[in-house]
């Protein structure tokens, strides 16, 4: 009996209640507009690298990411989008990969106990501050755009000091644990050098 009660308590504690949502049939044109609005499109070309440089970087990073994202096309699209969003924000893409490793371990639908979401663990309040209500933090490009923009803001605020910017990003300014984890992951797993290729 106690096993059944424990199981039911566990089940209800881990169940989300969606309220009284009702499915409504949508016209094809409405679905198309909504899909475009919430699209999770990836990037198809490298904008700042030559073809050879892009291939070398992608080959190097894809081998490191294979166990975490097994499907080759998904891995390639992920890496190209990380590179694009990092470069767009003036960040090193390997630093962004390090943050993703520490924050979500490359899990798209990760949610922290504080409510941070997605690959870069972006807090939902950022949507109100810098975004639009329709932005979904579980969409790859949206999540990376927010995370990279926020980190760039903190790096500017801290005049390029990675340690302090990472502390701000994590909400742990003045503590060493998080910055050390990210910087360590960067050194151990994600450092890229064309000379090493």
SS3 114: coil
Average pLDDT along the chain, 197 residues, taken 10 residues at a time: 46 34 40 40 57 86 95 94 92 96 96 94 90 92 94 93 95 94 96 65
Residue 3 pLDDT: 52
Angle between helices 93-104 and 162-170 (to 10 degrees): 40
Considering Cα of 123, then 142, then 68, then 14, what sign does the dihedral take? positive
Q: What is the pLDDT of residue 55?
A: 86
CATH 1.10.530.10: does it fit domain 44-196? yes
**In the chain, domain spans:** 44-196
Q: In degrees rounded to 5, what are phi and psi of residue 79? A: -65, -40
> What is the reported pTM?
0.74
**DSSP for 151-163, written as a single string:** HHHHHHHTTT-HH
């Amino acid at each position: 009996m106690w096993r059944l009660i424990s199981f039911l308590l566990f089940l209800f504690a881990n169940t989300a209640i969606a309220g009284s949502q009702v499915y409504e049939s949508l016209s094809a044109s409405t679905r198309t507009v909504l899909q475009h609005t919430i699209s999770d499109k990836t990037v198809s070309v490298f904008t700042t690298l030559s073809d050879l440089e892009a291939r070398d970087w992608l080959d190097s990073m894809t081998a490191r990411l294979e166990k975490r994202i097994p499907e080759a096309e998904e891995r390639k699209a992920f890496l190209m989008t990380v590179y694009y969003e990092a470069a767009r924000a003036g960040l090193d893409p390997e630093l962004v990969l390090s943050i993703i490793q520490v924050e979500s371990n490359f899990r798209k639908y990760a949610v922290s106990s504080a409510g941070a979401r997605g690959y870069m663990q972006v807090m939902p309040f950022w949507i109100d501050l810098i975004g639009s209500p329709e932005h979904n933090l579980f969409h790859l490009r949206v999540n990376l755009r927010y995370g990279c923009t926020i980190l760039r803001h903190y790096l500017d605020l801290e005049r390029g000091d990675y340690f302090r910017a990472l502390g701000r990003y994590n909400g742990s300014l003045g503590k060493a644990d998080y910055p050390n984890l990210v910087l360590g992951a960067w050194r151990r797993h994600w450092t890229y050098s064309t000379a090493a290729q």
